[in-house]
Amino acid sequence: MSDTPAAADEPRGERIAKYLSRAGITSRRDAEAMIAAGRIRLNNAPVSHPAVFVKDGDIVLVDGKPVGEPDRTRLWRFHKPEGLVTTHKDPEGRPTVFDKLPPGLPRVMSIGRLDLTSEGLLLLTNDGALARQLELPATGWLRRYRVRVHGGVAPDKLKRLAEGLAVDGIKYGPIEAHIDSVQRSNTWMSMSLREGKNREIRRVMEALALPVTRLIRVAYGPFQLGTLPRGAAEEVNGKVLREQVPGLGK
């Protein structure tokens, strides 16, 4: 009797790019680039394309080093200080967020970024698939900021922000903005947006002749900066994470 039907019934496992992403090694997209570069091996055989599945007991190597079994999906709130870049390695040698994380965290990646001089809430996860999901504009999560600008903010500029505007050929969506306080030549504002293009607030405010002198992210979707001390990280309770991200596995 042929063994073919039984073999066909065996679980295929998990695509290797997703496996590496859940293991916190890299994003799915970057995993495909690593495969193309010959950096991935499965059971000591080179992986040449992403349509390869990892099953229980398989051994995955990245650059010759074994990859541990993916942990359950976890999420941390981190209070990013200014002066850190949100990359694992910086070609200019500047200190990175990942150089300054508290001890005891596994390998993590950021959900979105904050630029060098920005501070506040940065979400970190060990699951690349979750990072990609929560970065997508389709997720619809509101990002909220406290922003200090140099100069007074006239009502017409608030209206332009609410309508969205184009800067250097890039179209930016509506930004909800309110004036909190005015201190001499500076204005503190609360600003909220959903898309979060690269340096969006700084570029939009510069176009309105209101240069940003301080930018603090205070919320990303349902997760708040709160009173988390600068430089500290705190894990989000697993039950809370599953409640806030529908469809998330255990």
User: What is the DSSP code string of 68-99?
Assistant: PPPPPP-EEEEEEPTT-BSSS--TT---BGGG
Please say whether the beta carbons of 96 and 86 come within 8 A: yes
d(CA 193, CA 177): 9
99 belongs to the catalytic site: no
Please say whether the beta carbons of 128 and 21 come within 8 A: yes
Query: Which residue among 71, 90, 115, 127 is the active-site one?
Result: 115
Nearest 5 degrees, angle CA 130-CA 74-CA 17? 45
Tokens, residue 142: 């509101």
Please say whether the beta carbons of 128 and 71 come within 8 A: no
Residue identified by tokens 């042929």 is 2
Cα–Cα nearest to 171, from 149, 148, 195: 195
C-alpha pair distances (Å), 96 with each of 75, 82, 86, 125, 160 = 19, 10, 6, 16, 35
List Cβ neighbours of 219 (8 Å cut-off, separation of 6 or more).
121, 142, 143, 144, 225
Question: Which residues have a catalytic role annotated?
Answer: 115
